[in-house]
Amino acid sequence: MTTLVVGANGNIGKIFCRLAAERKLPVRALLRNPEQQAYFDSIGVETALGDLEGAFEASMEDCDRVVFTAGSGGKTGGDKTLLVDLYGAIRVIEASEARGIEHIVMVSAMGVDDPLAGRPAMQHYFVAKKLADQRLRESSVAHTILRPGLLTDEPASGNVRTDLAAGSGHSISRENVALCILASLDHLQSRGQTIDLLDGDMPIATLFE
């Protein structure tokens, strides 16, 4: 089963592709620019060129699953957030429905349930993620929605928690998020679930048991 990784050149996407390659899992990295291919070639990951603001559908050929971890990034404005985090996600969901994709793992964000409670500078981002998550839940595609807290570059601990009140700290390492994506793809029990993620004491291997 080949998994298309949308947002493969982002921080979480790169980590996920590396971990998948180490496990000999077939993945295809969706990239905007040919210049981005060298890294994926070096780790043995197939690539396809496409753009969430343009054409990307051909990259889905022969894929069974999709990981969506694309984001416009903190250096762009609200216009890119709408085009990538919201409309880009909706287009991927609609293309997945049309092509019979079996499973989408969506990397969303903690706090999207109440966007207006977030910092003003982040509210448009939370709105975009909330609406994209809602469209995915309404779709015909089996899905898992992962909602990490504040992202860090700490090494993976292999342990998380799913309840903010169950411990201290509001962050999670990107590598732990990538491991949770892998676990989501490995377990049928992940389908239909929306899960908040923070660093914690629960082994990721048991997240969906």
Q: Which residues are catalytic?
A: 125
CA distance 93 to 66: 9
Residue positions counted in the chain? 209
Q: Which amino acid is at 14?
A: K
Tokens 């994506």 belong to 181
CB atoms within 10 A of CB 33: 9
Do residues 46 and 90 touch, judged by C-beta distance below 8 A? no
Do residues 191 and 142 touch, judged by C-beta distance below 8 A? yes
Please give the DSSP secondary-structure letter assigned to residue 208.
T
Q: Which of 63, 35, 39 shows the shortest CA–CA distance to 49?
A: 35
